[in-house]
Amino acid sequence: MSDDDSAVARERVIESMEQSAEVYGLSRSAGRIYGVLYFASDPLSIPELVDETGYAKSTVSNVTRTLSRVGLIHRRSSTGGGRRVRFEAEREVWFILQDVFQQYIQREVQTTLRTIRRAEEQVPEDAREQEPIQNLRETYEDLEEIVQLASEYSAAELREALETYEQ
């Protein structure tokens, strides 16, 4: 029966999202809730998400908050200013990856670079520590530039930039 096939396929993809969520530093429940919203044809409320996922109301409440903060889903304050809140998935996966990129990698690279630079200023000229710190700084400067540029391109542009390089 084709309905079954659809359901199975959908479940497979959602399970895959659960796993991906862990890689991105989120919980499995976050992956599942995002997945359910990704396949939903309309925005869902918290009770509906409770039905679909089997998680407790409190869990759904907390997870939707973090997912909204990170930009994976969007809060649609219900029409009429009512209390009922609905959530919609951000379906442009590339946007999500860019966000994660910026919020995690870029921040990480920048703070690391700042620390390295301060350390490099502090270390005496002839110290044994000077060279390794300098090497570290140079790599991270490359990295900062790469991450900066990469975050500005779309997936297709990025792909093309890499494919056409080295003529």
Interface positions with DNA (CB under 7 A): 26-30, 45-47, 54-59, 61-65, 78, 80-86
Whether residue 76 contacts residue 89, with contact meaning beta carbons closer than 8 Å, is answered with no
Question: Which CB, 58 or 104, lies closer to a second copy?
Answer: 104
Which residue's entry shows tokens 């993809």? 13
What is the C-alpha to C-alpha distance for residues 100 and 36, in angstroms, rounded to an integer?
Answer: 20
Rounded CA Rg of the chain:
22
Contact window for a second copy (CB under 8 A) among 49-57, 59-67, 78-86, 115-123: 115-123
Residue 165 interacts with, from DNA, a second copy, none (CB under 5-8 Å by kind): a second copy
CA distances from 103 to 34, 46, 78, 85, 134 (A): 18, 26, 28, 26, 26
134 binds a second copy (CB under 8 A): no
103 binds a second copy (CB under 8 A): no
Dihedral sign for Cα 149, 151, 155, 156, please.
negative
In sequence order, the 6+-apart residues with CB closer than 8 A to the CB of 91 are 38
Contact window for a second copy (CB under 8 A) among 15-23, 49-57, 58-66, 75-83: 15-23
**Residues within window 29-68 making contact with a second copy, judged by CB under 8 A:** 38-39, 41
Please give the structure tokens belonging to residue 13: 């993809």
Site residues (CB under 8 A) for a second copy? Answer: 2, 5-6, 8-10, 12-13, 15-16, 19-20, 23, 38-39, 41, 91, 93-94, 97, 104-105, 108, 111-112, 115-116, 118-120, 122-124, 127-129, 132-133, 135-136, 139-140, 142-143, 145-146, 149-150, 153, 155-166
